[in-house]
Structures are given as C-alpha cells and as structure tokens.
Amino acid sequence: MTEPDGTARPALGIDIGGTKVAGGLVAPDGTILATARRGTPGASVRETEDAIVAVVEELADGHPGELVGVGVGAAGWFDRTGDTVLFSPHLAWRNSTLRRDLGARLQRPLWVGNDADAAAWAEYRYGAARGADLALMITLGTGIGGGIVLDGRLRRGSHGVAGEWGHMRVVPDGRLCACGNRGCWEQYASGTALGQTAREVARTSPAAAAVLLERVDCEPDRLTGEHVARAAYDGDPLALELVTEVGCWLGQGIADLAAVLDPEVVVIGGGVSVLGEMVLGPARERLDRALPGRGFRPGPRIVAAALGAQAGIVGAADLVRRAVAEGEA
C-alpha cells in the first residue's frame, strides 16, 4: 500500500494497558525502531498521563529527525470522535478528555482511540488480516476486546464503542462482569476466565487439580490464567481441559459474530493467544458446529495475530500517520 504524501517519517505508537504504558518509534513499513515503557498508575488519571508523556519524550529525544505524530491506543471505551474516554474498567478514566489533555502537553499531531482498534488496524495493514474486505480482531487477555476493519477503514460505530465483543451476554444470570452485567462472553473466554475456572475446580476437587496446586503452594486462590497456560504447555490434563473449554467458548462467540457481521477473517490476539492451537483448534471445531447455516455457507477463517504484543503500538502509529495525511490530527 502506498504511503500518504508527507508521512514517510517515523511515528510514535503508544499502547496503554492496565499495568504498563508501552511505546515504539515505528517506520512507515510497520518496523519498530525503538521502544520504551513505564508502569501504569491506574488509579490516577494525572499520573497515567505523566507516564504517557514520559514515554513519548524518551522516544522523541532519541530520534534526531521530525516525527509524524503520536498515536495512543488505550484500554477503554471512547466516544466517536476519540476525544473522550467514556469508561475504562481497569484504569481511572471516566468521561475523561484524554485527547485534549494529552494534546496540550505533547504539542504534536495526535490520534487517540481504543487499543484493540489500533491492534485491528495493525493486523489489517501489516499482519494476518492484510487485504481482507471485512476483518474482525478479538483480543483475549484480562477481558475480551476487538476491532472492525471494513473496506479499508477502521469502523468505530455510531457512538465509538463498536467491537466490545467481551460484553455480549452468553450465559443468562452467569458470572458477574466488571461492566455490571452477568454472563458476559469475557467471563468464559479470557485469561481471567481461565484462572477463575481453575480456582473453582481447585477448591471443589483439589485432587483433580493437584498439579496446578503444586504451582501455588496448594493455595487455590493464587491460581491465575498464566499458571493454567504453563501447565497446559507441560501437558497437565486438567489444564488442557480448561484451555479447551476457553477455546470452545471462543468459537461459540465467533459463530454469533459471524451470524451478524459475516467476516472474512477473525484475528485472535492478546495474551491468551500465545496458547496457539490449544485454543484456536477447539475454537474452529466449535465454529464448525455452531455457525448458522453451516454446510450451506462459508464461515470466517480464525487465525492467530501476526504482530503479537506489538500490534497496538504499530497500529496506533499508523493511525496517526493516516490522520495527519487526511487532515484529521
């Protein structure tokens, strides 16, 4: 894809999660030239902004040439303009004017939006969804986020909050979710879900969870999704069963999305995606069984993200590049 005029210079991409602010200096071809990071003081809006500014200044000081601008992808729900963070379940933003506040401090062209949107754009531009007419991104981590790229454009919805797949209700009166509802998809197909199910099994059937419990000194409340993932890699039957269950829930949710959106490809990213075929295999099998009209219509391809943990940085940098070219930053 030809780069827009005037943007053949590096841009800064910032990816803000619940525990870290990660930044990268990104070339027009998606190559990351340098990185920096800080911890995320999630309880304080001001201190989180301080961490963002510190990462930007470190990367900008290390680059002698002119930068296109700064793209910021953050975990939260943004309004349609990208100016305001309506809500962030793991950070302190509540109707926060992040774009205005950062713009005043950075004094650079700026794009601000959802981190999963940025990752979706990166996979479309440079990764596993390159060239797709309709691509969905699903990020599996603490929760489930996502993004939509349709006809070469990032689609954010009428109010800016499209792609929050994790809050589809899949189990009536199920587990309580941080969003305030019960039975949300991310309560059954995420890293958090993996850990919660492991803790439930360990409390009720400690003998069955003996291998997992050895990893946490026989204290079930300390079990996390990461413990389960490592045990699955080591071949523990219970861990493999729990990972398969997450994969099945993932496939069911994708079948529901396919009924509404009919995507060409669904890209799976986020921390849980490192489990690869242990999750993706069961997801494809469930999709084959649950796809509406199965046998008479094609379904989407389910593929692993190509850019891994760097997708948010790369996507945010490219989005500010394009915003500058289109006069929107």
pLDDT of residue 328: 85
Q: How high is the pLDDT of residue 257?
A: 97
Q: Please, what CATH class does the domain formed by 132-305 belong to?
A: alpha beta
148 Rama sector, left if φ>0, alpha if ψ -120 to 50, beta otherwise: beta
CATH number 3.30.420.40 given to 11-124+309-325: yes
Query: pLDDT tens digits, residue range 45-101?
Result: 888 999 999 999 999 998 867 899 999 999 888 888 888 999 887 788 899 999 999
Residue ranges per structural domain of the chain? 11-124+309-325, 132-305
pLDDT of residue 106: 94
Mean pLDDT, rounded, for 123-149: 95
Q: Which two tokens stand for residue 249?
A: 């829930």
Q: Over range 256-278, report the average pLDDT.
A: 94
Tell me the C-alpha to C-alpha distance, in Å, between residue 36 and each of 12, 57, 142, 285, 320: 11, 10, 23, 40, 18
Residue with tokens 């990367």: 59
> Alpha carbon 164 to chain centroid distance?
10
Dist. CA 268–CA 261, nearest whole Å: 16
Taking 90 as the threshold, does the pLDDT of residue 20 lie above it?
no
Name the β-bridge partners of 72. Answer: 14, 112
- How high is the pLDDT of residue 184? 96
Confidence at residue 63, expressed as pLDDT on a 0 to 100 scale: 80
CA distance 101 to 75: 17
CA dihedral 274, 278, 283, 285 (to 10 degrees): 150
Mean pLDDT of 205-231: 94
Look at residue 250 and tell me whether its pLDDT is greater than 90.
yes
CATH topology of 11-124+309-325 equal to that of 132-305?
yes
Is the pLDDT at 329 greater than 90? The verdict is no
Average pLDDT, the chain: 92
pLDDT at 1: 45
User: Does the pLDDT of residue 179 top 90, yes or no?
Assistant: no
Confidence of residue 7 (pLDDT cuts 50, 70, 90): low
Would you state the pLDDT for residue 141? 87
- Report whether 141 contacts 272 (CB < 8 A): yes
State yes or no: pLDDT of 327 exceeds 70.
yes
pLDDT value, residue 305: 96
Give the mean pLDDT of 136-161. 93
